[in-house]
Chains A and B, each alone.
Chain A
Amino acid sequence: MDYALIAPYLPDLLSGFWITVQLSVITLVLATPIATAIALGRDLGPRPLARALAVLVNAVRLLPALIVLYFVFYGGPQLGLRMKPMTAATIGLVAMGAAYMSEDIRGGFSALDRGQFAACRALGLPFGHALRRVLLPQALPLIVPPYMTRAIIMVKGTSLASMVSVADLTAEATRASSITYQPYVFVLLAGVLYLALSGVLVAFQAWVERHLRLRYRLAR
């Protein structure tokens, strides 16, 4: 690989990578609690709330991610919501991510034995306590694999932000490619950086699964 070719674009590529990292972290950090709340609301909330959440989740889940991003970025200003590309991208990606993730989390909870809920209630345990100490620890080993897969998909999905003028890794790599006519080099470089980022998540998943196995000794 020709370093002299890459060098002039390296600062921009690294800054793009940094934006991709930020977008990934923010999206995951915001989507996870929202997804958990949606999952619990749908599973245990009053029926009207559960229905409304189901409609919302499906509305977002069934649309192409790019359409959601365009809607926020281009549609927002028409409704008087002018925002920076990064903000628009974050809102769109969080909405998509939370909708998908809520399904992964809900799957984990619905696999739990209903008797566990009944036992917690019969003992008079407050719901928050039951959730934290009894239900989540049992649901987590079921949630982690699909959740982490989703997290990886979301990280890769941040590249869509480049379509709404966010100067992320994909945007910088395509820009350098179109200036130099050397897409092979820059797209490959971007791929390696995405691989590194997703690789961190894969390693994290392995660590979490090991930790859960040791901690709870689940006989599954």
Chain B
Amino acid sequence: MPSPFVSASNLRKTYGDFTALDGVSLTMDRGEVVAVIGASGSGKSTLLRCINYLDPPDSGEVRVDGVRIGFGEGARRDRVLPERDIRRQRAEIGMVFQHFNLFPHFTVLQNLIEAPMAVRGLSRAEATERARDLLNRVGLSGREGAFPAELSGGQQQRVAIARALCMKPRLMLFDEPTSALDPELVGEVIAVMRSLAEEGMTMLVVTHEMDFAAQTASRVAFFDAGKIVETGAPAQVLRNPQHPRTQAFLQRILRSH
């Protein structure tokens, strides 16, 4: 059996007295889209931040395409890698944030080409060509010269997705990408994510958008108090949840919609 493309095993992470991850394990095949749902503060975002080592887990292991994130192999398996090597690993993992985190003093184009030039060593011309291509894909051709503050939230998030894709990542992490958006702007971001999923990108998406989870995800994982309590096909987890916590959460969500 081939090993999974992404595997997180037994991740633990505490902040003081608060346990954000309490032994979380998750595997993903290449091209799979996993939606992570659950109440706020249940540890969903921490999982993403541990996967790209933005927050080092206290214990447990993450592998992406066989490569162990943050640590060496063999004799050096207990040693944290030097920052330079961790940066290289992170560059392979795209991340999209709830609040976009675009660089406000850069134009849209500069936001996209900064890291490919600095980290991947692309020439300005190469990076610009790649960036224009991506802006076209996210429906923002012609906005290269705009500053983030001149764009709507939905447009900013699409720029942020294009910025992450400009690094040609092998895995994409989305941390509540539509939670900060006005309701009428959610659709355009979801559409971009959906087309990305159709192209075969491996995606781990923390979201409150149940429609996205139901229609686009290949699997849904329900998070509660630092643990994945239920995981399975969207139809199963969302329509016929087994765990009482999942049932209670989904009922709350349905009532509020």
Confirm or deny: B90 has a beta carbon within 8 angstroms of a beta carbon on chain A.
yes
CA distance A127 to B82 in the complex (A): 13
Size of A's binding interface in residues, CB under 8 A: 21
Q: Are B104 and A138 in contact (CB-based, < 8 A)?
A: yes
A124: B residues at CB distance < 8 A: 87-88, 90-91, 115, 119, 167
Q: Are A121 and B103 in contact (CB-based, < 8 A)?
A: no
Q: Closest approach, in angstroms, between the C-beta of A88 and any C-beta of chain B?
A: 40
CA distance A170 to B105 in the complex (A): 44
Q: Are A115 and B105 in contact (CB-based, < 8 A)?
A: no
Most buried by A among B88, B100, B104, B119: B104
Q: Are B104 and A125 in contact (CB-based, < 8 A)?
A: no
Q: Are A126 and B103 in contact (CB-based, < 8 A)?
A: no
Q: Are A219 and B104 in contact (CB-based, < 8 A)?
A: yes
Name the interface size band of chain B: 20 to 34
Confirm or deny: B253 has a beta carbon within 8 angstroms of a beta carbon on chain A.
no
B93: A residues at CB distance < 8 A: 122
Q: Are A217 and B101 in contact (CB-based, < 8 A)?
A: no
A121: B residues at CB distance < 8 A: 54, 87, 90
Given contacts A124-B90, A219-B147, contact A137 B101 (CB under 8 A): no
Chain B residue with the shortest CB-CB distance to A135: B103
Confirm or deny: A203 has a beta carbon within 8 angstroms of a beta carbon on chain B.
no
Chain A binding site: helix, strand, loop or mixed by DSSP?
helix
- Choose one: A125, A216, A218; the contact of B115 (CB below 8 Å): A125
Interface string of A111-124 (1 = CB under 8 A from B): 00101101101111
Chain B residue with the shortest CB-CB distance to A127: B83
Q: Closest approach, in angstroms, between the C-beta of A140 and any C-beta of chain B?
A: 10
Q: List 17 A-B contacts (CB under 8 A).
A: A115-B101, A116-B101, A116-B103, A121-B54, A122-B54, A123-B114, A123-B115, A124-B91, A124-B115, A125-B114, A125-B119, A126-B118, A126-B119, A129-B118, A138-B103, A138-B104, A217-B147
Q: Which residues does B use to contact A, with CB under 8 Å?
A: 52, 54, 83-84, 87-88, 90-91, 93-95, 97, 99-105, 114-115, 118-119, 147, 149, 163-164, 167
With A123-B91, A134-B114, A217-B105 given, name 19 new contacts (CB 8 A).
A115-B100, A118-B97, A119-B101, A119-B103, A121-B87, A121-B90, A122-B52, A122-B90, A123-B114, A124-B88, A125-B87, A125-B118, A126-B84, A126-B87, A126-B118, A137-B105, A218-B104, A219-B104, A219-B147
